[in-house]
């Protein structure tokens, strides 16, 4: 499908600058834009590309001021990145969605299957499962006994949801993710062996959550491991038993939470951050990539390093670290001078 700059601007409540009749049928990156595509500029470090891009339409923020003429038609909007997301969502919604029940698949007796469901081949639905409207379960998924799934949930291939877990509405779970596997609970014995502690709780995932590929969320020992509404977890994140992640928190790939950790609301964590167990962290914190949080933090802020320290403290320490070789030489010279002075006493 093709859309003109005029139609796109009307949809986004934007302003056209250039040919309002120019049309696009796809999107592209600004540095490799092609004729007939739409791109965007929100990060000013990419500004140089707007003067050379072959893209037909570029979304820009309303306050963007070009330093020289640009060839594409511009659509000025309040937030170019957010508007691109809206357009991509519109495009995705236009793609035909799978429907119906493919065979072979297994549905336990007594489970009510909504008319608008998609159930992919080789999937399994256990006893007592409750399914909401517009649920899409792609091939090779496993839904354990007494699982509850709300409306507009999408489970991609190979997702496993263990018994008793609860998923809310508007949730996306990507391929290979496991929800509700046993928490890592073992009691040491006198002979050095470990006795497995049964994990009898569950996992609760609230509305509007998205889980990346191969995420693992352990069921609680007792009670629930809880992922609150609006949380986004990237690929390969791990959430241990009895953890709680506050609403609208985002975590990049390979973050890990040890047991019984509570993450505050609106937290942002870069890739490979690690959180020790049995901590409660404040709301609105930000953690740089590979930050290791080994102790409770009292204040909201930006933290980096291991152990996690405030950003400015980390930068000061890093500057001092760079000076260590020179400081070592100076110290050695001072020691040599002291030894020489001792000889002449």
For residue 256 the two structure tokens come to: 């890990």
Q: Evaluate if residue 345 carries a pLDDT over 70.
A: no
Mean pLDDT, residues 124-130 taken together: 98
pLDDT of 74 strictly over 70: yes
- CB of 22 within 8 A of CB of 73? yes
For the segment(s) 3-94, the CATH number from 3.30.70.20, 3.10.129.10, 3.40.1390.10, 3.40.50.10300 is: 3.40.1390.10
Q: What Å distances lie between residue 230 and 136, 171, 250, 257, 310, CA to CA?
A: 20, 9, 9, 18, 26
pLDDT digits (tens, 9 = 90+) for 290-343: 999 998 898 999 999 999 888 888 887 777 778 788 888 888 888 888 887 887
3-state class of 44 per DSSP? Answer: helix
- Please report, for the chain, the start and end positions of each structural domain, with discontinuous segments joined by +: 3-94, 310-343
| DSSP track, 209-248 | -EE-TT-EEEPPSSSEEEE-TT-EE-TT-EE-TT-EE-TT
CA 199 to chain centre: 26
Q: What is the pLDDT of residues 193-248, one digit of tens each?
A: 999 999 999 999 999 999 999 999 999 999 999 999 999 999 999 999 999 999 99
Residue 287: how many other CB atoms lie within 10 Å? 28
- What digits encode the pLDDT tens for the residues 148-176? 999 999 999 999 999 999 999 999 999 99
> pLDDT value at position 336?
84
What three-state secondary structure class fits 341? helix
Among all residues, which ones are annotated catalytic?
A: 241
For the range 285-290, what are the long-range contacts, defined as Cβ-Cβ under 8 Å and sequence gap of 24 or more? 289/252
């Amino acid at each position: 499908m093709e859309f003109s700059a005029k139609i796109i601007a009307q949809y986004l409540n934007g302003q056209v600058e250039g040919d309002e009749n120019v049309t696009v049928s796809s999107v592209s990156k600004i540095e490799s834009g092609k004729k007939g595509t739409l791109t965007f500029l929100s990060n000013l470090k990419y500004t140089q590309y707007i003067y050379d891009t072959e893209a037909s339409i570029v979304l820009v923020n309303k306050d963007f001021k070009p330093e020289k003429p640009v060839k594409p038609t511009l659509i000025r909007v309040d937030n170019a990145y957010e508007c691109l997301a809206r357009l991509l969502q519109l495009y995705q919604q236009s793609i035909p969605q799978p429907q119906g029940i493919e065979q072979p698949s297994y549905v336990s007796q007594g489970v009510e299957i909504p008319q608008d469901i998609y159930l992919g081949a080789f999937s399994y639905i256990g006893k007592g499962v409750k399914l909401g409207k517009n649920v899409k379960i792609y091939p090779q998924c496993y839904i354990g006994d007494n699982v509850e799934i709300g409306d507009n949930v999408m489970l991609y291939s190979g997702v496993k949801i263990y018994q008793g877990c609860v998923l809310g509405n508007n949730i996306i779970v990507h391929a290979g993710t496991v929800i509700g596997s046993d928490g890592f609970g073992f009691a040491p014995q006198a002979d050095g062996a470990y006795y497995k502690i049964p994990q009898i709780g569950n996992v609760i995932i609230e509305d509007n959550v998205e889980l990346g590929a191969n995420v693992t969320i352990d069921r609680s020992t007792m009670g629930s491991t809880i992922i609150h509404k609006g949380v986004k977890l990237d690929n390969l994140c791990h959430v241990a038993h009895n953890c709680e992640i506050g609403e609208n928190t985002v975590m990049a790939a390979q973050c890990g939470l040890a047991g019984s950790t509570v993450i505050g609301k609106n937290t942002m964590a870069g890739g490979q951050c690690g959180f020790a167990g049995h901590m409660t962290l404040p709301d609105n914190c930000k953690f740089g990539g590979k930050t290791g949080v080994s102790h409770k933090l009292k204040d909201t802020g930006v933290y980096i390093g291991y152990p996690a320290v405030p950003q400015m403290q980390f930068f000061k320490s890093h500057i001092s670290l760079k000076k260590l070789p020179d400081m070592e030489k100076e110290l050695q010279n001072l020691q040599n001078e002291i030894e020489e002075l001792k000889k002449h006493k």
